[in-house]
Chain A
């Protein structure tokens, strides 16, 4: 699904990612953990096509195509979805309109006709119920005036409707209380399938109690310094990151 090889990324003169290697196969769940400022969001952004970064070395191949060459909207239509760490408020553009526009552009991209208005509403309302949201959110401007938790749920709502193939969740669990976390996790779990992969950036192993990862990676100073199974997250929770960073420094 996604193959990242020796990826180096800078902002201006400042190197941020310094040789990332990551292989993600269909159906896999990868958790990425690591200290603040280590480059987790940068990785999420570079995969979804945000401008302002320079790739100085390496590659990212998605479904056999050069991901880094594609404009962000093409990546999205090809099935890459980023749930933002900080979802953006878009005053004046309604949530339901954006959902419809997004869904239709995906369908168009795949040579399908526009979604029927009734089918669309049925689909959307079903997902709204799944995430235990109020239908009123659909008719409000995208994220405008939403609480932190509501914004995160809204990201997952979009994901549930657009059914992407590669879901990148950047700290979707941060700022969620336990009830909301359960709901969001159920939403994510309902999307799990053999053809869909997840990259979950998180600081908290608590999320991984609800969504069990196949792999856990530790990103520090722009590199993956350790990879392991789900048990690595427990170890990290216990010991923090410093033992890894120390090991890296002495290596």
Chain B
């Protein structure tokens, strides 16, 4: 199987260097050079890579994606934007990867909380200490070709800092909007939540109806005894390719929750990795819906490094038509991580004979006193349940819709921010394979 070609991205690099942020930072220049070298020598991942055996990325060869220029962005309808931008959150908006001050809403951030364009922050020595040493430390460009591409190419992104003991009154949203046909959009997000802070964060990925390549890497540092919930709402255009990675470092007693809604894109892959120190906890939830020829892949990796960590994972997939869904979840319990308590679950609902779900939970346990469980299911709707609903006057099609929707809604219901819940519910309802889904079923 041929490997997707990186030469356009490697050869074209000198032309775009001037667009990239952080020009004045020598350490960053070095990291970018390393990343480019990594991309040059190792290329994009192929099916031969164990972590990519279900993800065929050759689709990126079919079109030539060029780095988006800020000046080429298409104007956005404000009503359209409102469907994705939460009114009751602070929001930082990136258009084709570049920060838009006009569209962002960052008024009234409390003292001790920073939400700023990463490109701007890199020009301001005030933020140096936050960025240097952290950027590219939760993930390295050796992770995979897309992280390398991103490391070489990112033009902007977000820096979010929550100082110790801050408990955020409102969520913070980073809203990624793609507007350009054939744009390659590389963004980087750096989130630092200091000791004892609490925050609800949202990353939303949406785009106009065009084909583009979105590569987004987020690094999250959750401080000691801090609690961070990060929601990822991926509703890219149905022609888009999305490669998104979230790489988390949890300090001692830190709590991290990730709610991952993967609804859009032609080929969309999401990686969530987290490292747990002593007694830290993570909860990774996911819902992926695939229709037509969509391929939606989710990969998680949880590294229990120290004792008493807790991890919980529940990913659910609904796949119709010829869609394909992948869940690869890996939990690694280090020798030192005694008393680890880990559960991983993946449930898939196939609505058509041509839909496919590949699921591969992996446990690697090097400690001897741990509690680890995993379970996967791939199945169809339960005929007994359908008959029960029919015997209560519900026609068969509606019964199927109700059961399918109820299956997916378990994940939507976990979202406690009302406006976000409604946004996600709306997206699930419009993208849902069946028509006639009724909100009242809740």
Contact = CB atoms under 8 A, between A and B. Distances in A.
Contacts of A51: 383, 387
Interface string A74-109: 011100011010011011111001101110011001
A48 interface: yes
B395 interface: yes
Contacts, number: 80
A73 B384 contact: no
7 contacts: A48-B391, A71-B396, A73-B395, A88-B384, A92-B403, A92-B405, A105-B395
B410 A72 contact: no
Shortest 4 CB-CB contacts between residues of A and residues of B: A92-B406, A72-B390, A88-B388, A102-B393
Given A73-B393, A73-B396, A98-B394, 17 more contacts: A48-B391, A49-B390, A50-B391, A82-B391, A84-B388, A88-B385, A88-B387, A88-B388, A91-B410, A93-B402, A93-B406, A94-B441, A98-B392, A100-B440, A101-B394, A105-B393, A162-B392
Nearest to B395: A73
A185 interface: no
B59 interface: no
Instruction: State the main secondary structure of chain B at its contact with A.
Output: helix
Interface residues of A, number: 31
Contacts of A84: 388, 391
A158 interface: yes
A74 to B, nearest CB: 9
A105 B390 CA distance: 11
A39 B47 CA distance: 54
B392 A102 contact: yes
Nearest to A168: B391
B65 interface: no
Nearest to A100: B440
B388 A49 contact: no
A97 B441 CA distance: 6
Contact of A94 (B387, B392, B407, B442): B442
A49 B391 contact: yes
Nearest to B406: A92
B415 interface: no
Contacts of A141: 406
A92 B404 CA distance: 10
A48 B391 CA distance: 7
Interface of B: 382-385, 387-396, 402-403, 405-407, 409-410, 440-442
Contacts of A82: 391
Interface of A: 48-51, 71-73, 75-77, 81-82, 84, 87-88, 90-94, 97-98, 100-102, 105-106, 109, 141, 158, 162
A97 B440 contact: yes
A205 to B, nearest CB: 27
A48 B389 CA distance: 12
Contacts of B402: 90, 93
Nearest to B388: A88
A76 B392 CA distance: 6
B387 A92 contact: no
A78 to B, nearest CB: 10
A11 to B, nearest CB: 14
A210 to B, nearest CB: 25
Contacts of A162: 392-393
Contacts of B392: 76, 98, 101-102, 158, 162
Contacts of A158: 392
B292 to A, nearest CB: 25
Given A93-B402, A97-B441, A105 B394 contact: yes
Nearest to A101: B394
Contacts of A81: 391
A90 B390 CA distance: 12
Contacts of B410: 91-92
Contacts of B390: 49, 71-73, 76
B180 to A, nearest CB: 39
Given A88-B385, A90-B403, A90-B406, A106 B396 contact: no
Contacts of A72: 387, 390-391
B393 A87 contact: no
A88, A94, A158, A162 — which one has the most chain B CB atoms within 10 A of its CB? A88
